[in-house]
Copies of this chain bind each other. A is one copy, B any other.
């Protein structure tokens, strides 16, 4: 036996006991004739004491220990004379009798503290050292707790976790698949699932009624920051339900997670249509922890001679609280910020709301105090605020102003990591127009049911058809999304037609699902959470990478194991494939 206790376990009650501990040499201090060592393991740190006077040899060995050496000690638990209430074990220390080095350690390439000097690449290359840092370690433990709570909660509601296959079939609709050559069926390929969508629907046809799975999914996309080629979903599906049932179940789950893991009580989640979210926040995943809602200004800006506004599809502004404190230089920097290519605005009009109730704008030439007062009313600006106004094509200007709103929320400290503001966004459009391919794509996926009342528009005005689709948004991030599905073969065939599939293509790729619909498919629907992001947001962070044990970099590489890599030509030969 290597240890009687772990390094986070000993308390005053253990004083006088003989114990063994094992762990890593975290830190060491020599004070006169004494040497103090913090021994660390996953559970905490415990102070070891060595005395040069009483045991010179042992203390000498302790002084020679390098950082991160793995050691085992035996000794007696003693009460500390100066206690440390920052440490779980701060009331005691171990008077060491025996010390054994289990494994020595080279000096780590970066410091293993919360504030490390290691850059991203170095930390990833030595991820096994990075995880020793409390911050990363605790993120992984938190992820485990979230996943376990999800499983318990859904299981208690009679959901069954069913494992669906990873070696499936390539279906080019949607993102790009990772493919896997088959050796036993040469010239043929499996694909890794982008989601278990069709399988969970088949499980509903199979009568499984309530399904969930925490499952890896794969997308071969060019990676933006904070996207991973493999990611984890909490995938769920239910039968004999309407949208309302699904919202209630998963609102319950989310509320349970917030309460259990974060101690946060959240009332009924607000609901907002997609149209409303776009109008009020310029974004289908608004952060409602703070205001700065959009004020649309077309009718109070387009009656004067200001051509920029008059020619714009949308003129829209927000009121930045206390923004009138900004100097001219700071406002110019803000204008530069919205003009960066990532945001893409052509300029920004601003209005200073003076404390005396007057206004001073960058377009005083065109607008008088009465005009500006109306802008202030629309944007909810109060004396001391700064109104920022953008204009242009509706979709673009909304995205630009939304980016500015989020940036200001961040700068003003309004995006508090320990505050949680979930909401449902409902009634998403069924289809979205793709400029590149010049056709409609499914906004959610091709299995999403259109709203009955909008069905007639499928032929006449496809872009206006709304879907029974919903997103769960938390603190400005989409953490889940789903829809009521089509469960009728004819309806599904019609949908594929609208998405530009020939009947042959539809049959070839999704024939098994449409066939299944003919054997008694129940009404069904579901939702999937992105676990990586959910955990990060619950953990008060927005970057998912430190909630994943072994993430890949933006080039899709695992720099620790050095993958992807060249492979043995024999392997390619067996698979019947050649490199170009």
Contacts and interface: CB of A to CB of B under 8 A. Distances in A.
A157 interface: no
A518 interface: yes
A519 B129 contact: yes
A205 interface: yes
Nearest to A165: B550
B167 A178 contact: yes
Given A128-B516, A208-B131, A519-B129, A579 B579 contact: no
Contacts of A180: 178-180, 192, 564
A323 interface: no
B567 A170 contact: yes
A158 B6 CA distance: 12
Interface stretch (A261-269, A462-470, A569-577): A569-577
Size category, A interface: 35 or more
A42 B190 contact: no
Contact of A170 (B69, B167, B223, B565): B565
A220 to B, nearest CB: 6
Nearest to A168: B563
B41 A209 contact: yes
Contacts of A232: 163
A185 B147 contact: no
A312 interface: no
Given A563-B167, A576-B579, A578-B577, A208 B519 contact: no
Nearest to A181: B179
Number of copies: 2
A43 B147 CA distance: 26
Contact of A169 (B129, B207, B562, B579): B562
A220 B207 CA distance: 32
Interface string A535-579: 000000000000011101001111011111111100100111111
A166 B216 contact: yes
Contacts of A450: none
Interface string A131-157: 110000100110110011001100100
A27 to B, nearest CB: 14
B579 A580 contact: no
Contact of A176 (B72, B126, B183, B552): B183
A147 to B, nearest CB: 6
Interface string A213-243: 0001010101100000110100000001110
A485 B43 CA distance: 23
Contacts of A566: 187-189
A22 B184 contact: no
Interface in A197-211: 198-199, 202-203, 205-210
Contacts of A345: none
Contacts of A522: 22, 70, 102-103
A271 interface: no
A348 to B, nearest CB: 37
Which of A208, A567, A574, A576 counts the most B-chain CB atoms under 10 A from its CB?
A567
A72 B229 CA distance: 42
A189 B565 contact: yes
B562 A512 contact: yes
A516 B209 CA distance: 46
A164 interface: yes
Which of A151, A512, A523 counts the most B-chain CB atoms under 10 A from its CB?
A512
Contacts of A426: none
Interface string A518-529: 111111000000
B520 A185 contact: no
A326 interface: no
B144 A162 contact: yes
Contacts of A517: 103
A105 interface: yes
Nearest to A132: B207
A179 B209 contact: no
A270 interface: no
A2 interface: yes
A281 B140 CA distance: 45
Contact of A556 (B161, B185, B519, B577): B185
A488 interface: yes
Contact of A172 (B152, B487, B568): B568
Interface of A: 1-3, 6, 22, 24, 40-43, 68-70, 72, 102-106, 108, 126-132, 137, 140-141, 143-144, 147-148, 151-152, 155, 158, 160-170, 172, 176-192, 198-199, 202-203, 205-210, 216, 218, 220, 222-223, 229-230, 232, 240-242, 244-245, 487-488, 512, 516-523, 548-550, 552, 555-558, 560-568, 571, 574-580
12 contacts: A103-B521, A105-B518, A144-B161, A148-B155, A162-B549, A165-B230, A169-B558, A178-B180, A179-B575, A182-B556, A199-B549, A578-B578
Given A2-B242, A163-B549, A577-B578, 17 more contacts: A70-B521, A70-B522, A128-B205, A129-B519, A140-B208, A167-B558, A168-B563, A169-B562, A169-B565, A170-B571, A172-B568, A172-B571, A182-B556, A188-B566, A216-B216, A576-B580, A577-B580
